[in-house]
Amino acid sequence: MSRPPERILVVDDEAVVRDSLGAWLRQDGFEVVTAADAREARQALAAAPFALALVDIQMPGTSGLELLPEIVAGEAAPVCIIITAYASVDTAVQALKAGAWDYLVKPFDPDELTHLVRRALEHRELQAENRQLRGRLDEVSRAPAIVGASRAMRELDRRISKVAPTDSTVLVTGESGTGKELVARHIHARSRRRHRRLVIVHCGALAEGILESELFGHEKGAFTGAASVHQGKFEQADGGTIFLDEIGDVSPRVQVELLRVLEERRVTRVGGSGSIPVDFRVVAATNRDLPAMIEAGEFREELFWRLNVVPVRIPPLRERPEDILALADYFLADLGGKMNRRGLEFTPAARRRLQAYSWPGNVRELQNAIERAVVLASGPVIDVGDLPRSVRDGAGGGGGPAPVPGGPISLAELERRHIAATLTGCAGNVSEAARVLGIDRSTLYAKMRRYGLGRPEAEAGSNQ
């Protein structure tokens, strides 16, 4: 298979130079576009991508030096060779500083030109390869282990392995800090797309207009400040995965656009006319209650169904208290290693406090608590005093997951925790938990609904 010819842009105000350069390069098999000034050059650059640009330094109006930074901006930018009439070190240095790869002195010899152009294109290809290799290493190494041997986490792991190799859209739900992004990374890392990019978009962090151009890209001049073409996150994720984090925070207008992109598998850049086909896989995440948002008219139902093809729910840490100490030990070893404090251990009293606390901030809160303790610990052990105040003062020091009264919690919170711990102790078996609690099953179900406690095995087993 032969590749299409590589495209070269020649910018020079002298027609003779444009014509002779164009003729030589076409003879060498390149596709050549010429521009007589900065304005024409910008137009050509906006219309289609180039592999290389040859730019004259002296031009009336905008000089080549001024134009240079615009040409070389962005990942897919052409490699740039400056053309100068004077072999002055000064101009050469200036050009190289502004992003040129090399320079050529007029009048030039065709052989020198051919040679330089080839080398420049090789350089560009190597750069792109490097970037891709780096990207691959990043994706693979950026999925650290999912720790936790509780039934819920084992089930979660099985589910990730099952769904990852498919191209199905996944909606990851869970409270803040439960590991949604970690799960998304695993879905990508265990998929056939793992050698391509995982592109992460924190939808909640961006204003509506910015989010649109982040997601879908924009054409040059689409709005004030759109100085050049911008490739959106969907296009960047071509062949790979796009992770739409905090999907519940997307404005109604962007929801409509997203729905269309998910249906058509094509994106239209802001200010653009045609649409571009893109091959992406979507993983979305939210800590919000999307069905409730649908009811309140804040989230589009069709979009929800498009996203919720395979739901993956991560239970909060308090529903899987068996994972607390395993995670604490993991973070201690990991962070202790990174901070050069190897061999630290928790005292039994510290372990009891960690175990008894309810971790409203979930795994992230636990991770932060351990990091803080590693920094503060003065001797070879981490004791209660090294733990954050909330953990020290939190629910008791009683050992088991059941909280001890006296902490600053309400009766309802106490009941919620006790039910969660009992459910976990009964491996999610509601009938057995109801018996242990001395209430009937329907009462227990009602309480579970009120406190948002799920049945891990039932949820994980459905919707396959």
Instruction: Give contact residues for ligand ATP (rule: CB under 6 A).
Output: 144, 146-148, 174, 176-182, 287, 327, 363-364, 367
Nearer Cβ to ligand ATP, position 124 or 188? 188
Q: Does 238 bind Mg ion (CB under 5 A)?
A: no
Query: Taking CB under 5 A as the criterion, which residues in 370-409 touch Mg ion?
Result: none
Residue 448, token pair as written in the block: 């579970």
Q: How far apart are CA 290 and CA 247, in angstroms?
A: 9
Nearer Cβ to ligand ATP, position 11 or 284? 284
- Interaction partner, residue 287 (Mg ion, ligand ATP, none; CB < 5-8 Å by kind): ligand ATP
Nearer Cβ to Mg ion, position 188 or 269? 188
CB of residue 312 to ligand ATP, shortest distance in Å: 11
Q: How many angstroms separate the Cα of 63 from the Cα of each of 54, 69, 142, 227, 364?
A: 13, 11, 44, 18, 52
CB of residue 136 to ligand ATP, shortest distance in Å: 20
- Interaction partner, residue 148 (Mg ion, ligand ATP, none; CB < 5-8 Å by kind): ligand ATP
- The count of C-alpha atoms lying within 13 angstroms of the C-alpha of 50, restricted to the half-sphere facing its C-beta, is 29
Q: How far apart are CA 393 and CA 388, in angstroms?
A: 9
Find tokens 């330094």 and name the residue: 57
The residues, any chain, with a CB within 8 Å of residue 5's CB and separated by 6 or more, are 29, 30, 31
Query: Taking CB under 5 A as the criterion, which residues in 143-182 touch Mg ion?
Result: 180-181
Nearer Cβ to Mg ion, position 91 or 362? 362
* Per-residue contact flags (x/-) with Mg ion for residues 177 to 216, judged by CB under 5 A: ---xx-----------------------------------
Nearer Cβ to ligand ATP, position 70 or 181? 181
SS3 254: helix
Residue at shortest CB range from ligand ATP: 179
What residues does 201 pair with on adjacent strands?
244
**Residue 3 φ then ψ, to 5°:** -80, 155
- Interaction partner, residue 146 (Mg ion, ligand ATP, none; CB < 5-8 Å by kind): ligand ATP
CB of residue 366 to ligand ATP, shortest distance in Å: 8
CB of residue 420 to ligand ATP, shortest distance in Å: 17
Nearer Cβ to ligand ATP, position 133 or 149? 149
Q: How far apart are CA 382 and CA 328, in angstroms?
A: 11
10 Å CB burial of residue 7 (0-12, 13-18, 19+) is middle
Helix spans in 217-342 (H): 233-236, 252-264, 290-295, 301-307, 322-338
- Interaction partner, residue 178 (ligand ATP, Mg ion, none; CB < 5-8 Å by kind): ligand ATP
Q: Does 249 bind Mg ion (CB under 5 A)?
A: no
Instruction: Identify which of 233, 29, 235, 52 has the alpha carbon closest to the alpha carbon of residue 127.
Output: 52
Residues found near Mg ion in the complex (CB under 5 A): 180-181
